[in-house]
Chain A
Amino acid sequence: MNKHLLSIHDVTAEDVVRILDTAESFREVGTRVIKKVPALRGRTVVNLFYESSTRTRISFELAAKRLSADVINFSTSGSSVAKGESLKDTALTLQAMGADAIVIRHASSGAPLTLTKWVRGSVLNAGDGTHEHPTQALLDLYTMRERLGRLEGLRVAIVGDVLHSRVARSLSFALVKMGAEVTLVGPPTLIPPDAPAWGVQVSYDVGAVLPKLDVCYMLRVQRERQRQQYFPSVREYARLFGLTRERVGMLPEGSLIMHPGPMNRGVEIDSDVADLPQSVIEDQVTNGIAIRMALLYLLLGGSGAEAGEAA
């Protein structure tokens, strides 16, 4: 495997299978009375979050702690970043303190890649701007494989604000890599113009897509990233593209409803739809810890030497 995880393009289909299989073992650890193993004792993981986050930061923190690594949480408020320190100087400081892995979330696309130039440890992208969020995509793949038994040939629609969604990008790349059929659905203003080049279908009609799905993946409307008016009103958006109580009946039996969180109940998904048995949104959160444990283990569990040298 690659030393860093910046994008889904950093992993091969075989890597994905290995990550999901390894996560399976870590799921078991999460069911024990003592949910902790000594695998990464003595390693240091830094959570460097330039953007607000609850589940991803806590998930990475729990993952590292359950592997017995030391965890340092670093957020922009209350740190020297608030005093104007640059990403480079923060990186060099963390480097000097001996961080083995840096988990970074940043509002600028490409910040994790830039970070790799300054640090010796592994860099894990926990979401950068509108670029990628690879660990979210991997935990989604895990959840789909666990529930539906396969990834190849799955019909998945990713619905909503695709344009601003790093989750949609990572998930599309990952699903296409694993042989699934992906359809992006949303208002034309929120579908990226280069989408056909991702190997996916595009549709503007939720009703036409829903009856043929194995997974309906709803995206949050990212109003904080929208710099202009992309749709007339939230109410109209909810009516045309939201997963409403009426629409959910169009989904085939046994299909899944997913959402990366945080949800805007009543906008992209009706409140009681989010709580239906076929909605696996909580599973996604639980599986996120196992996936992040697997990634930290696979990235930090080797010596980093060239293969063969230490065997």
Chain B
Amino acid sequence: MAGARLLDEAEVRRATTRIAHEILERNKGAEGVVLVGIAARGDDLARRLASEIARIEGATPPVGVLDITFYRDDIGMRAEAPEVHETRVDFDINGKTVVLVDDVLFTGRTIRAALDALVDFGRPTAIQLAVLVDRGHRELPIRADFVGKNLPTRRDEQVRVAVKELDGEDAVYVEEPRGAAGGGSER
């Protein structure tokens, strides 16, 4: 099911380009900046931000992928253990500015878990958060530093981000609530 498309490919591209500029502006360049995307889809967006930054600045920041499954606060509350993805942060984050990248910011629980996971890899100087969509309804005191698009939503709606790498297109959809468990793109 498709639902209403809120961002198309061109809009996703413009949002990514703008976020890349904002990251560079905030950090006065790409020096000491590393990107860590949250699987799945956050890592694809992180790679795009990295290539945008490379295009603008000439230097490509390292990109890691973080799976936050083992840090979730709802393990044991679902019927089945949540599916795990790959984690690969093969560079040192000590003393770096880590930009966490995710597709949708919703309750903030994913980001809480990601912060816990990140500190197990080292002690970054700062952690910033970039998201393609902020849909509100936070349950924790967490906010994004870089936002592609603010989307007011109803709590029971589903926001689904599609990326070329996994879904064959770049787009953001809002869908009516589904009976079964969600598509996994948001929490």
A residues touching B (Cβ–Cβ < 8 Å)? 1, 21-22, 24-25, 28-29, 32-34, 36-40, 43, 67, 297-311
Contacts and interface: CB of A to CB of B under 8 A. Distances in A.
Given A33-B122, A38-B70, A38-B71, A25 B87 contact: yes
Contacts, number: 75
9 contacts: A28-B87, A39-B70, A297-B70, A298-B81, A302-B78, A303-B77, A306-B79, A308-B79, A311-B78
A259 to B, nearest CB: 29
Nearest to A43: B76
B88 A28 contact: yes
A311 B87 CA distance: 25
Contact of A29 (B70, B79, B80): B70
Nearest to B120: A34
B181 A24 contact: no
A310 B79 contact: yes
Q: Which of A36, A302, A304 has the most CB of B within 10 A?
A: A302
Contacts of A28: 86-88
B84 interface: yes
Q: Which of B81, B116, B180 has the most CB of A within 10 A?
A: B81
Contact of A302 (B81, B180, B181): B81
Q: Which of A39, A305, A306 has the most CB of B within 10 A?
A: A39
Interface of B: 67, 69-72, 75-82, 84-88, 116-117, 120-122, 180-181
The B interface, classified by DSSP as helix, strand, loop or mixed, is: loop
Contact of B67 (A25, A33, A308): A25
A79 to B, nearest CB: 29
B79 A301 contact: no
B94 to A, nearest CB: 10
Contacts of A300: 76, 81
Contacts of B82: 301
B71 A22 contact: no
B58 to A, nearest CB: 31
B78 A303 contact: yes
A307 B121 contact: no
Contacts of B76: 43, 300-303
Contacts of A311: 78-79, 180-181
Contacts of B122: 33
A1 B122 CA distance: 35
A290 to B, nearest CB: 12
A21 B75 CA distance: 18
B85 to A, nearest CB: 7
B117 to A, nearest CB: 8
Contacts of A306: 79
Given A28-B88, A311-B181, A33 B121 contact: yes
A25 B85 CA distance: 7
